Structure 1
Amino acid sequence: MRYLNHQIILKRRTDGLPCAGDFSLGEQWIDGCGAGEVLVRNYYLSVDPAQKGWMGSAVNYASAVVGQPMRALAVGEVLVSQAEGFSVGDFVVGWLGWQEYACVTTDKIQTKVDPTVAPLRYALGALGLNGLTAYIALNDILSPDPEDTVLVSTAAGGVGSIVGQLAKRRGCHIVGLTSSDAKARLCCCEYGYDRVVNYTASDWLQQLKAACPNGVDRYFDMVGGWITDEVIGLMNHSGVHAQVGTAAVEGWSPVPLAPRRERAVLVKELTHKGFIAFNHEHRFDHARRHLLDMIDCGALNYREDIRDGLASAPAALVSLYEGTNTGKTLVRLVD
């Protein structure tokens, strides 16, 4: 059987914020798959802040390929299998790209997914990259003590919304940063945050100092840039700073100028450590079990921003940097 595959192609690299013009529509016919491959029909596509970095020319841990479907995680159903261990009808999550169908070798598959345990789309969010990042970076890097003040940037996003709830279960004082008053209220009402500051307010830094009267012990940082330049001054002695993203930095070529932080790191004996979830796969199963237990007992609140249709993917990515999304952003191809 032949399949007409529509795709979103990365048209060019960009070292600034992504825009719709960075992509083009493409199509191809797929006649099946070769030895060691599976053909997957994508149901949901993931839209993640990290994709901006994959599109850029600066050195990164991963890179999207110009002229190919945009690099992305997706979840879908195996239609054809020529690979040992995979059967027709299996559901899988992996590096399947922004396209309707993906013919891939099994090294592109992260894991099988049981749709009877949780909705398929959760494999890209609460039980996928977002949840895994939140759980592992919080527990393994920040490892806060009870009553520590934990500051989380992009607190209303797919990762930040989970971090707040996990840190609250550890007995921490949770403070968030987000881009609107509505998102700030959401974080306090649903995600366990004690205080949330809208960083677009003119007096946001004064508000943040008031929300952290005892300083910041642990910083879950998904933005970097000008926001982190100010937060470093609030860090307590022996504080820990987890660098999980750099969404507030528009581009890395040329290297942006910023205040130097070395003196604060030295005097306060701060720990600053990067985190890339894919380097911690040995922790994935444990983290998923914990998150699934929370979901099963109703202890994890989680929101999704779902767009319909393949063509909506570029605009969905742009929305992440406009701050108009709430929760995990997904593109739905199949109900």
Structure 2
Amino acid sequence: MATLFDSYRLGGLTLPNRVVMAPMTRARAAEGDLATPSMATYYAQRATAGLIVTEGVQPSLIGQSNPRTPGLYTDEHVASWHPVTAAVHANGGRLFAQLMHGGRVSHVDTTGLPPVGPSAVAATGEVFTPTGRLPAPIPRALETAEVPEHAQSYAVAARHAVQAGFDGVELHGANGYLISQFLSSNANLRTDRYGGPVANRIRFAVEAVAATVDAIGAERTGIRLSPSGGFWGVQETEVPELYAALLKELARLEVAYVHLEATVDEEILLELRHAWPGTLIMNPVFPMGPKQAGRAEAEHWLELGADLISFGRAFIANPDLVERLRTGVPIAPVDEATYYEGGDRGYLTYPAYQYSA
């Protein structure tokens, strides 16, 4: 069986280990949603990961979900990311940008634009805005003729990512955001070619991935999925059939990887592992749940057939997480109060493990 510390070939990249830094919103972008020098330091500190996937990056203004998240849809955005990718590469790392279109999980106070979604159905809960949390608004349902331009927005942002020096991109198809909304059976009430049966509900995801593959190549394109995750009130019917159909199309497109979250029973996840012939990144515990992933959970999924293992919260507080996993020293706890507060506290202030005599 492979170990976390074996190398792995991913597309055109050789990863020195099988530890992936999962995407996590940190809300540290500068005015204009630009990447910052602190972001360059943050990711460079964690460059020992086999692969880093950035926080969600909006592919368009209307795709922005939260305030102070970075974009990749203007020349200024591209220029701001250059020092980040350069810093990670200088430290020997590899970096994919996660492209995240929030869809209905947004607010006019954040973007200046009413949010859009598959149908006029509000998300469950409150969304982040510049003045605090507010109830999720009812989005405007996209017209059929509009849907392709939102699928294409991922491809345009992917081209910008490559221009900015990223090694590839991951489409955020999970956690209740736009691709996940189209996969849903309660956020997506459409009666056109994008709604209803499984073949229609996967169509937007497939079109977004296909456009991205055409733009930058399959070996630079991955996607993250959260089967039956329930985020932001999203529900899905026919989960095994839905994701088996989607994985079949992704296999046809020969994407670099599928990144699965442990959001459904292990039995179903194993079925999806068997249905997917390519590289699988597994996030081995429920995101934001009470349990934090460690080496035991990683090794369990390597034994079950995952190729790479992603860690989220553990990477926030442990820039040297790979070495901590390798040596078995304690994994430091994360300060949740600093997740989104801005500034460098709780961002650049976590030290590497200090050995004592």
Q: Which has the higher strand share?
A: 1
Q: Which has the larger radius of gyration?
A: 1
Judge same fold: TM > 0.5, yes or no: no
TM-score, with structure 2 as normaliser = 0.27
TM-score, with structure 1 as normaliser = 0.28
